[in-house]
Structure 1
């Protein structure tokens, strides 16, 4: 069974195994839009795209992120994987990914089931172990992003349950 990596923000490790619940979500934002022609046909236009990520957590202690300089970019070692699906077992991965949390993958069967399969990585190329009869493959990696916080850490405290909560929204620098 693969182990979930710890969240690391600006070099500070937030261990997931101390009873914390951490959630991460991604969304793309940026200089893109869809224009419509006179007959309504769509014409996508794009200048750039970046990722926005929202992290939230609850646990036995606050995250301890007050020492970080939020006016400068920080490195974020993500805990939510991103994935690529391919018809072949060879997939090009982004260079900006965690090296301490290796990619993992599945073969996709004709019935739509996912079968775990080994992944070998050389440079930015992931090669998944071929599976007889597979109709496709999917590989998951953990991003390593350079981000800026678009607001400070939002903290909460549940005095009755003795649970610290927090949320942080960041965008790729």
Structure 2
């Protein structure tokens, strides 16, 4: 099976040609911590679990994203994993999982992390973890897919080395 690629609007970013994509997830909507009149902290927020995603790279050619319609939502498939910690053998993934990459789990045995099988229900996002004897905790991992809104990517060229740089910042649309 081929390694998954970052994809925007169905266009794959190929590391050999377009550069290794650097990916950053920044939470949206978490809001600032403000102080009340007697100094008590209050977390101001309107929504949770939405992300701003920044992807960039440098390669010997651009990624070919000029033909996408940036006035419409786009699907962004990322390869930077997300993960959640649990001591339970069942959990629910809080996000959308790439349909072409199954989630996986690791068990911490006090010394090492070992892979352990899971049962995954894509409709409910429920995960059942196969127990590992002596495991202290588990981590469920997945590669996310986002529906995003964004402006056209930024482009650059170093003419001396013929290196094409590109980057985009997308915001998860939400439901």
> What is the TM-score of this pair, normalised by structure 1?
0.86
2:42 aligns with: 43
Structure 1 stretch displaced more, 129-138 or 44-53: 44-53
8 Å CA contact 1:105, 1:117 repeated in 2: yes
Q: Alpha carbon RMSD of aligned pairs, Å?
A: 2.1
Tell me the distance in 2 between the aligned counterparts of 1:107 and 1:14.
32
Structure 2 gaps, min length 5:
none
Q: Structure 2 vs 1, CA of residues 17 and 102 (structure 1 numbering), >3 Å: closer, same or farther?
A: farther
Tell me the distance in 2 between the aligned counterparts of 1:31 and 1:21.
30
Q: Structure 2 vs 1, CA of residues 17 and 133 (structure 1 numbering), >3 Å: closer, same or farther?
A: farther
Q: Residue 125 in 1 paired to residue 126 in 2?
A: yes
Tell me the distance in 2 between the aligned counterparts of 1:34 and 1:4.
40
8 Å CA contact 1:105, 1:118 repeated in 2: yes
Q: Structure 2 vs 1, CA of residues 120 and 26 (structure 1 numbering), >3 Å: closer, same or farther?
A: same
Structure 1 gaps, min length 5:
none
Tell me the SS of whatever aligns to 2:44.
strand
Q: Structure 2 vs 1, CA of residues 163 and 120 (structure 1 numbering), >3 Å: closer, same or farther?
A: farther
> What is the TM-score of this pair, normalised by structure 2?
0.85
Structure with a larger share of its residues in strand = 1
2:166 aligns with: 166
Tell me the distance in 1 between the aligned counterparts of 2:108 and 2:58.
34
2:105 aligns with: 105
Tell me the distance in 1 between the aligned counterparts of 2:70 and 2:100.
25
Structure 1 stretch displaced more, 75-84 or 36-45: 36-45
2:21 aligns with: 22
Size of the aligned set, in residue pairs, is 170
Residues 114-152 of structure 1 show CA distances to partners (whole Å, capped at 9, x for unaligned) of 222223212311222211111110011111111111x32
2:66 aligns with: 66
Tell me the distance in 2 between the aligned counterparts of 1:96 and 1:70.
21
Q: Structure 2 vs 1, CA of residues 72 and 25 (structure 1 numbering), >3 Å: closer, same or farther?
A: same
2:147 aligns with: 146
